[in-house]
């Protein structure tokens, strides 16, 4: 596993007081130790300290969903989440979806359905869809729309993305309820 230590430059040059915290967290199963200013958001740390640029930054204001990642399995807008709040937590980014040998079924289906045009929204869409299917493996069209309602797409009109999520759900076997 990767153990990455990264240190942001101190703000001493600008005259501001250094306010750096050490944070240990897991990203896509790999441990990271970073020393970061307390006001750094998670999306910036993922992209700049960890090199995980699949997570996009759009509005930087909790509006577009381009920065969506999973925090302990729950979707969050990482632009509006402080990285220091992730101490001891598990983050999953779009880079953590695919296996070494194959795309994740959601990735395969969104490509097959034509749900990717410019692609800027795609990582966030995939993370929201993944979180939805983890909790609701057989969503209705309406439930898919609600599950993706925090993600904006300027290109596709959404229909092909919703089709991709429905196709993924349809091809994924649902475990029967356990007896007793």
- Is 116 a residue that touches ligand FES (CB under 6 A)? yes
Q: Which is nearer to ligand FES, 21 or 80 (CB)?
A: 80
Kindly state whether residue 77 participates in binding ligand FES, applying the rule CB under 6 A.
yes
Q: Does 165 interact with ligand FES (rule: CB under 6 A)? A: no
Would you call 87 helix, strand, or coil by DSSP?
Answer: coil
* 164 scored as a contact of ligand FES (CB under 6 A): no
Binding of residue 123 to ligand FES (CB under 6 A): no
> Are 165 and 129 a contacting pair, CB within 8 Å?
yes
The verdict on 52 binding ligand FES (CB under 6 A) reads: no
**CA–CA gap between residue 50 and residue 60 (Å, rounded):** 19
**Closer residue to ligand FES, CB minimum distance, 12 or 150:** 150
Decide whether 84 or 164 has the Cβ nearer to ligand FES: 164
Rounded distance, CA 159 to CA 162, Å? 5
Distance of CA 172 to CAs 90, 138, 139, Å? Answer: 25, 9, 12
Does residue 144 interact with ligand FES by CB under 6 A? Answer: no
Identity of the residue, 114 or 137, whose beta carbon is nearer to ligand FES in the bound complex: 114
Lateral strand order in the sheet of 4-7? 4-7, 30-37, 20-27, 90-92, 68-71, 74-77
| Min CB(146)–ligand FES separation in Å | 17
CA distances from 7 to 37, 46, 61, 150, 176 (A): 9, 13, 26, 32, 48
Residues in contact with ligand FES, shown as a per-residue x/- string from 78 to 97 under the rule CB under 6 A = -x------------------
Q: Which of 20, 30, 35, 59 binds ligand FES (CB under 6 A)?
A: 59
The angle subtended at Cα 93 by Cα 73 and Cα 101, nearest 5°, is 105
Interface residues toward ligand FES, by CB under 6 A: 57-60, 62-67, 77, 79, 116-121, 153-156
């Amino acid at each position: 596993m990767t153990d990455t230590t990264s240190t942001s430059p101190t703000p001493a040059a600008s005259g501001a007081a250094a306010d750096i915290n050490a944070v240990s967290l897991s990203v896509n199963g790999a441990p990271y130790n970073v020393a970061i200013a307390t006001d750094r958001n998670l999306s910036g740390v993922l992209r700049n300290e960890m090199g995980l640029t699949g997570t996009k930054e759009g509005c930087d204001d909790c509006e577009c969903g381009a920065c969506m990642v999973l925090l302990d399995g729950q979707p969050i807008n990482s632009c509006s989440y402080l990285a220091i709040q992730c101490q001891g937590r598990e983050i999953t980014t779009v880079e953590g979806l695919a296996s070494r040998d194959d795309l994740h079924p959601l990735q395969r289906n969104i490509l097959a359905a034509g749900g990717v045009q410019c692609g800027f929204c795609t990582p966030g869409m995939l993370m929201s869809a993944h979180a939805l299917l983890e909790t609701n493996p057989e969503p209705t069209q309406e439930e898919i729309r609600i599950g993706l309602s925090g993600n904006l797409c300027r290109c596709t009109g959404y229909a092909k993305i919703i089709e991709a999520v429905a196709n993924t759900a349809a091809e994924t076997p649902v475990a029967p309820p356990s007896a007793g």
